[in-house]
Structure 1
Amino acid sequence: MSGWACGIAGCDATFDAVEETVVHQTLDHDGHECRVCGAVVPEGYFAIRHALDEHTRAEFVRAYDADADAVRERERVRAAVEAEADLDAVRARVDADR
């Protein structure tokens, strides 16, 4: 059984490594347009990171009609990815595949 699921609605892809999951989200899915600022960022982990780094929790909640549980879930996903992923390797792989 694979340890990492894509997590993007409608996608049931799973992967053994978190890096493969983030690369998949970045390369195999359309970009995500941020509802707060309009920036287009890769879907999945990078969209979560953008929302948490660039905007306040209140901005996220208002723009996405979310609640505190949704924010905490995204914070949990981000922490899990960053605890295990070699993000420099992800960036290098994405850059090489583009």
Structure 2
Amino acid sequence: MPGWTCGISGCRAAFEDVESAIVHQTTEHQRHECKVCGTVIPDGYFAIRHAFDEHTRAEYVRAYDADSEDVREREQIKETVESTADLQSVVDRING
């Protein structure tokens, strides 16, 4: 049974492992332009990581018209992915 779903724009693609979900998000969906700094990055996990590693929570809230629940949800996703995923294998798979 798949344990991970994509979740971008209602995409419900399901995957056995988190690495496959991240690869899918990176290769099958349009890139995301950060509303804080304009950097173009893959949507999904990499966009969340960018937002919270490169910007303050306040910048994120203002730029995305978000609230504390939005921030907590994305921080939880980031934490769960980072505690589960082999991110080097994701990079290797994306780079072929």
TM-score category of the 2 structures, normalised to the smaller one: over 0.9
CA displacement 1:63-84 (0-9 Å, x = unmatched): 0000011011000000110111
Which amino acid in 2 is paired with 1:77? I
Question: Offset at 1:9?
Answer: 1.3
- State how far apart, in whole Å, the 1-side matches of 2:81 and 2:7 are: 12
Question: How well do the aligned residues superpose, as a CA RMSD in angstroms?
Answer: 0.6
Higher mean C-alpha displacement, 5-14 vs 29-38: 5-14
- State how far apart, in whole Å, the 2-side matches of 1:77 and 1:67 are: 16
How many residues are treated as equivalent by the alignment? 96
Unaligned ranges ≥5, structure 1: none
CA displacement 1:2-41 (0-9 Å, x = unmatched): 1001011131101010000000000000100000000000
What TM-score comes out, normalization by structure 1 length? Answer: 0.96
Q: What SS is found at the alignment partner of 1:9?
A: helix
- State how far apart, in whole Å, the 2-side matches of 1:55 and 1:80 are: 20
Unaligned ranges ≥5, structure 2: none
Q: 4+ residue stretches of structure 1 with deviation over 6 A?
A: none
- Check if 1:62 corresponds to 2:62: yes
What TM-score comes out, normalization by structure 2 length? Answer: 0.98
Aligned to 2:20: 20
Which amino acid in 1 is paired with 2:49? R
Which amino acid in 2 is paired with 1:85? A
Q: What SS is found at the alignment partner of 1:32?
A: strand
CA displacement 1:36-94 (0-9 Å, x = unmatched): 00000000000000000000000000000000110110000001101110000000000
Alignment of 1:1-98 (within 5 A): 1-96=1-96
